A and B are shown apart, each in its own frame.
Chain A
Amino acid sequence: MANTDAIIGWKTITFGCHVMEPGSSVKFRTGDWRSQRPVIDKEKCIKCGICWIYCPDMAYIQTEDGFFEVNLEYCKGCGICAHECPKNAITIVPEEG
Chain B
Amino acid sequence: MAKRVGIEVSIALAEAVKLANVDVIPAYPITPQTHIVEHLSEVIANGEVDAEFVPVESEHAAMSCCCGSSAAGARTFTSSSSQGLLLMSEILFIPGPMRFPIVMAVVNRALSAPISIWNDHQDIMSQRDIGWIQTFADTGQEAFDLTLHAFRVAEDRRVSLPMIVNIDGFTLSHVVEAVELLSQEEVDQYLPPFKPRYRLDPRKPITMGPVGIPEVYSEAKVAHNEALKASRRVILQGWKEFADLFGRQYNPIETYRSEDAEVLLVTMGSISETAMTAIDTMRDKGQKAGLVKIRLWRPFPGPEFRKAAGKAKILAVVDRCLPPGAICGPVGAELRSLFYKVPGSPKIFNFIAGLGGRDVTVERFEEMVDKATAFAKKRPKELYEVIGVREK
The interface residues of chain A lying within 8 Å CB-to-CB of B99 are 15-16
| B215 beta carbon closer than 8 Å to chain A | yes
B219:A13 contact, CB within 8 angstroms: yes
- Bound-complex Cα distance A21 to B207 (A): 8
Q: A15 and B197 in contact (CB under 8 A), knowing A10-B223, A10-B226, A20-B206?
A: yes
Count the A residues whose beta carbon is within 8 Å of the partner chain — how many?
18
- Bound-complex Cα distance A24 to B198 (A): 18
| B380 beta carbon closer than 8 Å to chain A | no
The interface residues of chain A lying within 8 Å CB-to-CB of B223 are 10-11, 13, 17
Q: A17 and B98 in contact (CB under 8 A), knowing A10-B223, A10-B226?
A: yes
| B269 beta carbon closer than 8 Å to chain A | no
- Bound-complex Cα distance A7 to B218 (A): 12
Q: How far is the CB of A38 from chain B (nearest CB, A)?
A: 25
| A26 beta carbon closer than 8 Å to chain B | no
B216:A1 contact, CB within 8 angstroms: no
Tell me which residues from 197 to 215 in chain B have a Cβ below 8 Å from any Cβ of chain A. 197-198, 205-210, 212, 214-215
| B301-324 interface bits toward A, Cβ cutoff 8 Å, 1 = contact, 0 = none | 000000000000000000000000
B210:A19 contact, CB within 8 angstroms: yes
Tell me which residues from 285 to 312 in chain B have a Cβ below 8 Å from any Cβ of chain A. none
| B238 beta carbon closer than 8 Å to chain A | no
B216:A16 contact, CB within 8 angstroms: no
Q: A13 and B206 in contact (CB under 8 A), knowing A1-B214, A4-B215, A18-B198?
A: no
Point out which of A10, A20, A22 has the most chain B C-beta atoms below 10 A from its C-beta.
Answer: A10
In the complex, which residue of chain A has the Cβ closest to the Cβ of B219? Answer: A10
In the complex, which residue of chain A has the Cβ closest to the Cβ of B157? Answer: A15
| B327 beta carbon closer than 8 Å to chain A | no
B205:A8 contact, CB within 8 angstroms: no
Q: How far is the CB of A18 from chain B (nearest CB, A)?
A: 5
B207:A19 contact, CB within 8 angstroms: yes
In the complex, which residue of chain B has the Cβ closest to the Cβ of A6? Answer: B215
Tell me which residues from 7 to 65 in chain A have a Cβ below 8 Å from any Cβ of chain B. 7-11, 13, 15-22, 24
Q: How far is the CB of A25 from chain B (nearest CB, A)?
A: 8
| B220 beta carbon closer than 8 Å to chain A | yes
Question: Count of A-B contacts with CB under 8 A?
Answer: 55
Q: A17 and B205 in contact (CB under 8 A), knowing A7-B215, A9-B219?
A: no
Place the interface of chain B in its size category.
20 to 34
From A1, A4, A7, A15, contact of B198 by CB (8 A): A15
From A8, A13, A18, contact of B208 by CB (8 A): A18
| B45 beta carbon closer than 8 Å to chain A | no
From B198, B215, B219, B226, contact of A16 by CB (8 A): B198
B210:A17 contact, CB within 8 angstroms: yes
| B346 beta carbon closer than 8 Å to chain A | no
The interface residues of chain B lying within 8 Å CB-to-CB of A21 are 206
The interface residues of chain A lying within 8 Å CB-to-CB of B207 are 18-19, 22, 24
Point out which of A10, A17, A19 has the most chain B C-beta atoms below 10 A from its C-beta.
Answer: A17
B206:A18 contact, CB within 8 angstroms: yes
B215:A2 contact, CB within 8 angstroms: yes
- Bound-complex Cα distance A72 to B208 (A): 28
B97:A16 contact, CB within 8 angstroms: yes
The interface residues of chain B lying within 8 Å CB-to-CB of A18 are 98, 198, 206-208, 210
- Bound-complex Cα distance A20 to B247 (A): 42
| B243 beta carbon closer than 8 Å to chain A | no
The interface residues of chain A lying within 8 Å CB-to-CB of B2 are none
Q: How far is the CB of B160 from chain A (nearest CB, A)?
A: 8
In the complex, which residue of chain B has the Cβ closest to the Cβ of A7? Answer: B215
In the complex, which residue of chain A has the Cβ closest to the Cβ of B98? Answer: A16
Q: Could you jot down 15 A-B contacts, CB within 8 Å? A: A1-B215, A7-B215, A7-B216, A9-B219, A10-B226, A13-B216, A13-B219, A13-B220, A15-B160, A15-B197, A16-B99, A17-B212, A18-B207, A19-B210, A24-B207
Q: B residues near A, CB below 8 A? A: 97-100, 160, 197-198, 205-210, 212, 214-216, 218-220, 222-223, 226
Give me the 10 closest cross-chain CB pairs, A-B, nearest first. Answer: A19-B207, A16-B99, A22-B205, A10-B222, A10-B219, A10-B223, A4-B215, A17-B220, A16-B98, A13-B219
A2-B215, A18-B98 given; 5 more Cβ-contact pairs under 8 Å: A17-B98, A18-B207, A18-B210, A19-B210, A20-B198
